[in-house]
Structure 1
Amino acid sequence: MTQHLRVGVVGAGRVGAVLAARLRSAGHEIVAAAGESDASTQRIAALLPGVPTEKPSVVARACDVLLLTVPDDMLANVVHVLSASGALRAGQYVVHTSGRHGLDVLAPAAELGARVVAMHPAMTFTGTEIDLDRLTGCYFGLTAGPAEREFAAGLVADLGGRPLWVPEESRTLYHAALAHGANHLVTLVTEAMEMLTAAGADDPAGTLRPLLGAALDNALAQGDAALTGPIVRGDVNTVAAHLEEIAANAPHTMPSYVALGRATLSRAVTDGRLVPIRALRINQLLEEALAESAVRPVYLRDVRDARDGR
């Protein structure tokens, strides 16, 4: 994109501050940013030195391109308030970074004549300068009208990314895929490290790193063909031993182990690598282990206690 943009950011969280910093490095002007928390203020100071911190309505009025990088559940209200307050105007670009939402959530802005775009980076963010290089080659889930497609693609190019055009009706499924793959991966890896620690590993992260790196590369390249392990091999006794040890030493991981075990079992049967009779026996073991485990009510109680500050 060759034109000089005057960009404002509402929601200087991990995503907003980083995107703004990358656009700044591409030659665009960041006129103002809005962020109420101490963490947001620190990010603005670190990644956007010299950029004033203002109220959202002030930011919106000052820019030609407004980045709305607020949490999904807040987005509709932010758009409504800014539209109702007169902070948005015809011809202004209003771009949100929500994965779940498309253009519908920006309808109040569009009714004012604003040009609306949904632009979600398929990336996890730390909110630090580390993220700036990670944006290179990153896909952005884009949804835009015909008149805004060229602008949206140019904005992604300036961020160092690549466009992935997502239909309005597919935004939630697109986002669910990313959350399932990335967010649940963090949970899975963390539980695996906890189990290794219980088994006496001094460096659980170092133990898992080469294995997980190879597994991820293989899965991305080969899909189901990359599946290995006792379930795919039909090693009933090994699965039974796993379940016994998990129940005794890491019971909080039982629900996820069983859920992922069932999913793996189904895929192994579908592609013909596991005979049904062994699959039935393994599934029975998984069901029995989950039924016998007392972890679910304990886990939910712990969640309630954490919520209530106990």
Structure 2
Amino acid sequence: MERRAGRLGVGIIGAGHVGPVLGAALAGAGHAIVGISAVSERSRERADAILPGAPVLEIPVIVERSELVILAVPDAELPSLVAGLAATGSWQPGQIVLHTAPGFGVEVLAPATAAGAIPLAVHPALAFTGTSLDIARLQETYFAVTAPAPVLPIGQALVVEMGGEPVVVAEEDRAAYAEAIATASTFSRAIVEQATGILSGIGFENPGSYLSSLVRSAVDNALSRASAPAAGPDVLLDGRDDPLDPLG
């Protein structure tokens, strides 16, 4: 497969809500999709919808053929995946290995780094739907980037190519970062579900639509206050993101 100079062969491990979308964004920047792993029928359908024509391959084959490997798997699965591939000698010197788990920095990629791979931790702060709608949403999304200083520009450049805004997060701050992301997404979802449940109970046929403008404006106002340089003690903290999809 021919590629323009400076373009990478990208392999994606995990066809949940995140991996195919990031792959599509990179493909739009001129990179070539080498393959994607997809276990369930649902994940295969998602991969085909967002990355039509991308080969569905076994994980070792993807790693062998890729210059950039995206590990879009849940936090709990990441350490064993990285270590298992290291045990089989799959990682290659100079290969870029990028994971999207919010709770880890690059230390979890140590087995790949020991083999000469370039480690990157890149998490997009977006509540993914797993549809093409997410590709456009990346244009206004911040990405937490953690990497060793010499290769940090690689992670930042990849984020920019996907249309996002990179923000550097230190290795020791990744746990706190993940807590903030989980708090924002869980709280937001729970409040909306509670409010729509109450409206349904008094006969509203479309409570989600009814609350849409209210919730969006309230969150936007809270985020604006939180971003203000001279924010006072009455600032309401809120956020946007969703833990990685467990499917695929």
For the criterion TM > 0.5, the same-fold answer is yes
The corresponding residue for 2:183 is 180
| Cα RMSD, aligned residues only | 1.6
Out of 158, 163, 174, the residue aligned to residue 161 of structure 2 is 158
Higher helix share: 1
Identity between Structure 1 and Structure 2 (%): 39
Deviations 1:37-90 (A, max 9, x none): 112211221111221111111100000110000111000011011111111111
Match of 2:41, as an amino acid? D
Pair 1:109 & 2:112 matched: yes
Q: Within 2, Cα distance between the matches of 1:203 and 1:72?
A: 35
Task: Tell me how far 1:226 sits from its aligned partner.
Answer: 6.1
Using the alignment, how far apart are the partners of 1:81 and 1:215 within structure 2? 45
Distance in 2 separating the partners of 1:60 and 1:18: 19
Q: Which one-letter code corresponds to 1:217 in the other structure?
A: D
Matched-pair contact (CA < 8 Å) for 1:215–1:226: no
**Structure 1's 40 and 206: CA in aligned 2 closer, same or farther, altered over 3 A?**
closer
**TM alignment of 1:151-230, pairs within 5 A:** 151-223=154-226, 225=234
Which stretches of structure 1, 4 residues or longer, exceed 4 Å deviation after superposition? none
Q: CA deviation at 1:209?
A: 1.9
Moved more, 179-188 or 217-226: 217-226
C-alpha separation in 2, matches of 1:207 and 1:137 = 25
Shift of 1:222: 2.2
Match of 1:142 in 2: 145
Partner-residue secondary structure (3-state), 2:205: coil
Q: Secondary structure of 1:80's partner?
A: helix
Shift of the alpha carbon at 1:188?
Answer: 1.1
The one-letter code of the counterpart of 2:35 is A
SS at match of 1:94: strand
Residues 33 and 53, structure 1, Cα contact 8 Å, conserved in 2: yes
| Aligned counterpart, 1:251 | none
The superposition leaves residues 190-235 of structure 1 with CA deviations (integer Å, 9 ceiling, x where unpaired) of 11100111122233123322221221122112245467xxxxxxxx
Amino acid at match of 2:148: G
Separation in 1, partners of 2:148, 2:127: 26
Q: Which has the higher contact order (CA 8 A, sep 6+)?
A: 2
- Measured in 2, the distance between the counterparts of 1:210 and 1:23 equals 33
Q: 1:93 to 1:226 in 2, by over 3 A?
A: closer
Say if 2:112 is the partner of 1:119.
no
The 5 Å alignment of 1:40-51 reads: 40-51=43-54
**SS of residue in 2 equivalent to 1:176:** helix
Q: Which blocks of at least 5 consecutive residues in structure 2 are unaligned?
A: 227-232, 237-248
Q: Deviations over 1:111-130 (max 9, x none)?
A: 11111000000001111111
Alpha carbons 1:218, 1:226 under 8 Å: kept: no
1:60 partner letter:
V
Please say if 1:66 is aligned against 2:69.
yes
Distance 1:133 1:221 in 2: 22
Cα gap change, 1:226 to 1:140, in 2 (>3 Å): closer
Q: Give the TM-score normalised by the residue count of structure 1.
A: 0.70
Unaligned 5+ segments in structure 1 are: 228-310
CA distance in 2, matches of 1:221, 1:215: 10
